[in-house]
Structure 1
Amino acid sequence: MLTDGHYMAWFKTKLGEGTGRVLLQNGMISGADTVISYSGSYQVDGTRFAAVLKTSRHAPGQPSVFGVDEVEIKLVGTATGNFATCSGEVEEVPGMLFDVTLMPVKAEADRPPERTYNPADFHPERLPKGKFR
């Protein structure tokens, strides 16, 4: 099931691929990559979902994966386990298919604590003795 939260998005078209970060919250989508911003809405029905996104350029840089900066994308997909996949078409570029995979971003609190090592805890005398020592 698709739940509210932050996701990394990997997307592709026949012109290229890219990654960005999106926030899904209460039926609304917002996000961006290095040059394009996204906004829109989504609806969830069990493991299936549908979304409508609009894009716009917010910074100079590489061309968008659509060949144009401002498009409307209609997507349908499924969410199972930790991933969601969807695909759709872009009205402004007829025949252009758009595929997206969403991967949830773990919150800092969900990550295990970083291990620290104290050099005083290293005891070489405890290592097994080989025949060359």
Structure 2
Amino acid sequence: MFKYNLRSPIVHQILLFLFVGGICYFFGIALLLLFVEITHFEVNFANFLASLITIFVCYLLNAKFVFKSGRYSRQKEVMAFFSFSIIGLFLNVVLMYVMTTYLPIWYVISKTLITIFIAVFNFIVRKKLIFLD
């Protein structure tokens, strides 16, 4: 039987990424609900705005707790992080639009499914291309 070594650096990093991702997820969902239910923004605009704000929070938490800086200068690291985050944001917005416009899926469930997909993309990109291993 395969056993995971919880002391392994990659397992530790994945667990931290999931924890930080969970914080960012709930933060993003709270913003989305606030923008849709309280301020009555259109769902897709609210998703874009909530996602944009959440990207900034995610950078701060990922840089502080999950990944090691140093592969690039801080300026290049920030530029790389936000450049790839724009790709994730584009995927997020397109998928949210499709799911809420053409499929009968509640926007919070749509956002949750999209977040799982984007999280995998983000981890791979951040680990392999932006931060130190």
Range class of TM-score, shorter chain = under 0.3
Bigger strand fraction: 1
Say which structure, 1 or 2, has more relative contact order (CA 8 Å, 6+ apart).
Answer: 2
Q: Based on CA coordinates, which of the two structures has the bigger radius of gyration?
A: 1
- Higher helix proportion, which one? 2
TM-score, normalising length: structure 2: 0.27
TM-score normalised to structure 1 length? 0.27
